[in-house]
């Protein structure tokens, strides 16, 4: 009785652990994106860039806070002719603070905040591109698996034909030529199938690289290989792109940075006010030859205010302002160019998306006709109504139609994700 209980428990543990392993290896699109955001190398590096910009965005870097320093020296001398020895020890602590510097402190702090925002925007672009890569890599695996299934079906048909010709040959109904031809076709189809198996494994490894996972990990892909055929309105897509496209948003930040640079350069036209304060302490010892030692100690606090202004700098300040204005104009033109370029790209991708929807419908109809034609051809071949070459042509026509239909699905998925990325859909979701 005890052995039976142990056996049942062991069996349950095996079944339970197997179920856990299968569950852990399940991979959906959302889970793949989650893993990517955590492990992808490019995203990790972009997050580090954001962290650096965040650290730099503080009032100390902008120059608002004072600096405090300490110094200490010890000077030892010996005069050989008069045989005099001396030692002077001095030390001090001082504070230096720029009270006013032409509003540069506030402008620099604002610039640092925009640089942090720009770093986040650039990181967001990396995230967007990586998410699209993950989605397309995921569906590429499904595409290659579907292609593998099609090639497997064709290989099975070729094997059946080869077996059929061999059987006919054995009973005297077929010649050696037909048997060898059928065998050669079967072996070619088998080679295509084996090559496709390697393509599937490589596609999985490429996905694992994006996920930051071990190359040997295998997954059970839970998504179906089909495409979304949403009807988009071009005007809505254009509004979303102008308001949410991350590359364009980053360019807007660049434009604001150039405007700030003009004000920063104008700060050189103002005077500068600095405060310095501290305390110095010195101790000296002098011992002349044949004379008593002499000691001296001093403690000197100080506080100074300095107002400075550059009356003439050879026109450098004006030149710096003019250059900043030109750079701002250049950035403005670049912004308009980017808007125009993205608008053109959106229009093109919108047309491509609609075209690929139509092509998918055509591919579906073509596949249906090819499948029906293949069934009819199989019956005609076995009845002798068509020869081996006709049957092979029909078989290849089915293969091309099936592969074209699968590629049409993948192309539509790619067009859809491109529209989503252009309109900032990934980040909004």
Write the pLDDT tens digit of every residue in 175-184.
888 888 888 9
CATH architecture of the domain covering 66-101+272-308 = Single Sheet (2.20)
On the 0-12 / 13-18 / 19+ scale of CB atoms within 10 A, 189 is buried
Half-sphere CA count of 337, side-chain side, radius 13 A: 7
Does the structure show a pLDDT above 50 at 238? yes
Per DSSP, 429 falls in state -
Residue span(s) of the chain under CATH 2.20.200 come to 66-101+272-308
**DSSP symbols for 365-412:** HHHHHHHHHHHHHHHHHHHTSS-HHHHHHHHHHHHHHHHHHHHHHHHH
Q: Among 229, 226, 213, which Cα is nearest to 143's?
A: 226
Cα–Cα distance between 282 and 319 in angstroms, integer? 47
Does the structure show a pLDDT above 50 at 22? no
Mean pLDDT of 52-80: 86
pLDDT category at 18 given cuts 50, 70, 90 is: very low
pLDDT category at 20 given cuts 50, 70, 90 is: very low
Residue 323: CB atoms within 10 A of its CB come to: 13
- pLDDT digit string, tens, across residues 259-278: 999 998 888 888 989 999 98
Residue span(s) of the chain under CATH 1.20.1600.10 come to 30-65+103-270+314-428
Tokens 């099975």 sit on residue: 156
- Quote the tokens at residue 237: 């897509």
Q: Characterise 286 by phi-psi region: left (phi > 0), alpha (psi -120 to 50), beta (else).
A: beta
Does the structure show a pLDDT above 50 at 14? no
Mean pLDDT of 149-165: 88
* Range ranked top by mean pLDDT from 227-231, 295-299, 350-354, 376-380: 350-354
Cα–Cα distance between 421 and 428 in angstroms, integer? 10
Q: Among 242, 54, 210, which Cα is nearest to 136's?
A: 210
What is the per-residue pLDDT for 81? 65
Give percent of the chain above pLDDT 90: 50
Does the structure show a pLDDT above 80 at 216? yes
Cβ atoms of 242 and 248 closer than 8 Å: yes
- Choice between 255 and 182, residue whose per-residue pLDDT is larger: 255
Class of domain 30-65+103-270+314-428: mainly alpha
Kindly list the distances between the CA atom of residue 362 and the CA atoms of 357, 395, 401, 405, in Å, as whole numbers in the listed order. 9, 19, 10, 9
- Quote the tokens at residue 408: 């049409």
Question: What is the chain's mean pLDDT, rounded?
Answer: 87
What is the per-residue pLDDT for 54? 93
């Amino acid at each position: 009785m005890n052995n039976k209980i142990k056996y049942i428990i062991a069996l349950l543990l095996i079944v339970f652990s197997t179920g856990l392993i299968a569950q852990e290896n399940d991979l959906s699109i959302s889970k793949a994106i989650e893993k990517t955001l955590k492990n992808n190398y490019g995203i990790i590096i972009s997050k580090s860039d954001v962290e650096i910009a965040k650290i730099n965005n503080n009032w100390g870097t902008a120059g608002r806070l004072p600096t405090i320093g300490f110094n200490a020296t010890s000077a030892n001398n010996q005069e050989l002719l008069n045989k005099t020895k001396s030692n002077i020890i001095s030390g001090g602590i001082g504070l230096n603070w720029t009270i006013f510097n032409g509003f540069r402190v506030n402008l620099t702090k604002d610039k640092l905040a925009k640089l942090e925002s720009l770093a986040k925007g650039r990181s967001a672009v990396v995230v967007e591109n990586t998410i699209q890569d993950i989605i397309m890599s995921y569906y590429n695996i499904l595409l290659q698996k579907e292609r593998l299934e099609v090639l497997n079906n064709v290989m099975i048909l070729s094997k059946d034909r080869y077996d059929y010709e061999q059987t006919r040959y054995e009973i005297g109904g077929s010649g050696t030529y037909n048997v060898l031809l059928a065998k050669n076709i079967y072996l070619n189809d088998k080679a295509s199938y084996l090559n496709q198996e390697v393509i599937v494994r490589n596609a999985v490894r490429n996905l694992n690289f994006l996920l930051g996972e071990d190359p040997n990990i295998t997954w059970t892909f839970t998504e179906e290989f089909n495409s979304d055929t949403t009807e988009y309105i071009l005007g809505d897509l254009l509004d979303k792109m102008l308001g949410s496209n991350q590359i364009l948003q980053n360019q807007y930040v660049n434009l604001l940075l150039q405007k700030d640079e003009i004000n920063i350069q104008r700060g050189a036209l103002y005077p500068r006010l600095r405060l310095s304060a501290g305390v110095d302490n010195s101790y000296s010892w002098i011992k002349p030859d044949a004379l008593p030692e002499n000691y001296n100690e001093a403690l000197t606090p100080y506080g100074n205010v300095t107002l400075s202004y550059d009356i003439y700098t050879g026109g450098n300040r004006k030149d710096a302002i003019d250059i900043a204005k030109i750079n701002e104009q250049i950035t403005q033109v670049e912004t308009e160019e980017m808007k125009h370029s993205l608008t053109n790209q959106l229009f093109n991708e919108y047309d491509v998306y609609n075209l690929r929807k139509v092509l998918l419908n055509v591919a579906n109809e073509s596949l249906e006709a090819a499948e029906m034609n293949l069934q009819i051809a199989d019956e005609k071949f076995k009845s002798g109504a068509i020869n081996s070459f006709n049957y092979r042509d029909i078989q290849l026509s089915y293969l091309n139609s099936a592969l074209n239909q699968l590629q049409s699905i993948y192309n539509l998925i790619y067009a859809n994700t491109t529209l989503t990325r252009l309109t900032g859909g990934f980040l909004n979701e």
